[in-house]
A and B are shown apart, each in its own frame.
Chain A
Amino acid sequence: MKLRITRSLALLAGAAAFLGAAAFGSIASAKDITINMAVPDWPPTRIMQDLANKHYKAPSGNNVKLVLDFIPWPNYYEKLAASLTSGEEKYQMAVSDSQWLGANIEGGYYLKLNKFIDADPELQAVFKDLHPNLVASYSTYPHKSDNYYGFPQMPDVLIAYYRKDLFCNADEQAAFKGKYGYDLPCDPQAMNNTDWDMINDFGEFFRRGSGDTLAGETLTDDFYGIAYQAGIGYDFNTMQINGFIWQHGAGIWDETKEPDGKALGVVNSDKAVAAFEHYLSLLQHMPPVVKTGTMDIFKVDELFRESKVAWIIQWIGFGESALSPDTSKVYDKVDFAMMPGLRADDGSIIRWSNIGGQPFVLTTWNSDEVTQEALDFCKWWLTSGTQTMFAKAGGQSGLRSVHTTEEYKTYRPWNHAFGPSLDWQKDVWHIPEFFELLVQQQQEFDKAITGQISAKEAMDHIAQFQDELLREAGRIE
């Protein structure tokens, strides 16, 4: 019903555009083309607008204007979903969370890029240069297939932020060594080599009450050792828990094995339960808000910037606000390292983690001309020159030719952790049903985090729910 209207309107619009183009095409050779892009309102997209305004010239010679509709992050999903499903065809491009790919591709909103890539050696080169984990997470649907849909806009990974003033303090180091028998890591290299057992020690060690001494100063308020996301909103506990699950050798339901991949027995395997219990065991060292199950990435960020916690796991995207004196009380005391992992028997660290960040995509209702302009823009965005400018301004680049250079590590203090982390990234489901899976899982995890049920119960509920839902959707047989 809605679709028919959509299609006939699209036809009308197409016809009108064609007539318009025919009438005016001969008069002006350089055309004005506007590309409207829906984007979340935050620095990586603001920087993109800035760079595009200053440096982008369309190779076609047309006057291409990139208009970014900056939408606040908390409501970005609703606004984009409503616009896409309503058929208003307002946006030519959009920044999309990678999890939304399936739903919006099945809806027919995101443009498949294969034929353009096949016809364009430059685009092929770009895809070869991108880190394969980014291509898998940001571009492919079905997940890890050869169908491509997106380009990385802002790749993001979880890393550790820590207070170098505390970890490098001589008194604290001596006390730590005395208590735990090994050195408190101080520089990023040492901090890269941390596992969860050490994090547990950090958590216990840096827990101080008001009146206690911390790095030579007397505290007037409680201080906590560690924090990572444990919030019920959106994906604010799953992103961390998935890392634990993969590190422990367990798995989430595997959409690439559809329809043989199982949920029951996989999602609630003993290893997965042990992984979740491991995640839960560290919560005891975290600030009290964790008991409410609302300690999301924003609360973790705030606690860290307000100097209430010594060590956190956070997305790179929050780095600038931790370093800015306008927003951070610890701006000159922060350093960054890779996210810790599980120590294997050979002493190496297993670091699987859930990828963050967003690709941008093209929509399906554009004329060939607009599509070509949008692709040209993507190509410009993914040139090493533009990516270098973006990285210098605080963004991240998924191009291996850019992020593996020695110079790249000097742009921002967390950059050294970015490239090596990419090798350890996996992604949560991309199927259209992902949101229902996610919400139920978030709620069950939250019940365990707030102590209403055990880890085992939570995992059983999740497996049971996923089995039912995925069977109904025909994804498990």
Chain B
Amino acid sequence: MTAWGRFISENRGPLLVTPALAVLVLMNIFPLLWSFGLSFFKYRANRLQEPEFIWFKNYFKVLTDDRVWNRFQTTAMVVSIDVLLQLIVGFLLALMFEKQFPGRRVLLMLVLTPMMLSFVAVGAFFRYYYEPTFGLLSQAIKSITGEPFILLASPAGAIAGIIFADVWMWSPFVMLLVLAGLVSVPKHLYEAAEIDRTSWWRRFWTITFPYIRGLLLLAILFRTIEAFKLFDIVFLITEGGPGTSTETIAVYVYRVAFQYFKTSQSAALGYILLFVVIVLTNLYLYFVRRRAEEN
């Protein structure tokens, strides 16, 4: 083996990872670090003043702002309900498609289409579905009660409306991942279980679950991360209203960054958000690893 060849075989890992890391560093890490640095300055991107180093003042300011805490509470509620429902719906859909039946391929496509839609269309049409005069939901209810149904009039209704749209759009994502795991469970394991007359729950937990665990984790991880970034649906359906009741942290970050142009403060807020998400996702990973070790 030549020296070159040895070098390659000894450093296979780093070499294979390098192109991916290069792209990530260029397009993702650099901007991240840039805004991290910025979060210690007093700086607005649309002002001529030079940035001024102010240590942790931005973080202090953000963390003592009632608005921020309020938006975090809204986000926590939306994210937890949203992801939980996506998991349940996605899982049920996956169970539905687990078995072979005629038309399965076409029906599966029908269920997959929501997540292929553009936010602009989903936002505009869901706003229309919920709208009391023309909307389908209101029309359907009005034909029974005689009164228009105004879903978005109350904070609770508005949150429900947003979660419903997001769950509808992204449960297929969970479904697809779970399904990929489900169909890979070898049939002979089920046959054996059938002979043993084990309960459905036990069969699921001991046979099925190990096969979907990894992909399920991936689904939770990515849906949680995405849910924290929930922006377009909110902005297009309720614009954060009524009042501020559906203003998620992502919407608030957008306002601070691009409407108020408090560039460095938005960076600080972004990093606090990043910290929260990292802690949360690490908790997931910890629990899953522990379960994996138990098995």
Contact = CB atoms under 8 A, between A and B. Distances in A.
Interface of A: 1-3, 78, 81-82, 84-85, 103-104, 106-109, 222, 231-233, 287-289, 291-294, 299, 302-303, 306, 308, 432-433, 435-436, 439, 443-444, 446-447, 449-450, 452-453
A308 B47 CA distance: 46
B177 interface: no
Most buried by B among A103, A288, A306: A288
A443 B240 contact: yes
Given A288-B150, A291-B150, A436-B260, A446 B242 contact: yes
Contacts of B48: 3, 106-108
B175 interface: no
Contacts of A302: 134
Contact of B134 (A108, A294, A306, A452): A306
Interface stretch (B14-22, B125-133, B191-199): B125-133
B153 interface: yes
B153 A292 contact: yes
Contact of B132 (A289, A449, A450): A289
Contacts, number: 105
14 contacts: A81-B261, A82-B258, A85-B46, A103-B261, A106-B48, A107-B47, A231-B239, A288-B132, A291-B153, A292-B153, A432-B47, A443-B244, A449-B242, A450-B153
B133 A289 contact: yes
B51 interface: yes
Interface in B114-151: 127, 131-134, 148, 150-151
Interface string B147-183: 0101111110010000000000000000000000000
A303 B128 CA distance: 12
Contacts of A108: 48
Contact of B47 (A82, A106, A231, A449): A106
Contact of A288 (B51, B148, B239, B260): B148
A29 B253 CA distance: 51
Contacts of B51: 1
A231 B127 CA distance: 13
Q: How large is the interface on B (under 10, 10 to 19, 20 to 34, 35 or more residues)?
A: 20 to 34
A444 B47 CA distance: 28
Contacts of B238: 232, 292, 294
Sort A-B residue pairs by CB-CB distance and give the 5 closest, nearest first.
Answer: A447-B243, A450-B242, A292-B152, A288-B132, A107-B46
B210 interface: no
A292 B133 contact: no
Given A3-B50, A106-B47, A222-B148, A78 B258 contact: yes
Contacts of B158: 292
A469 to B, nearest CB: 10
Nearest to A236: B239
A81 B255 CA distance: 13
B241 interface: yes
Given A107-B48, A294-B127, A81 B258 contact: yes
A6 to B, nearest CB: 10
Nearest to B247: A443
Interface string B229-262: 0000000001111111001000000010011110
A207 B261 CA distance: 44
B46 A81 contact: yes
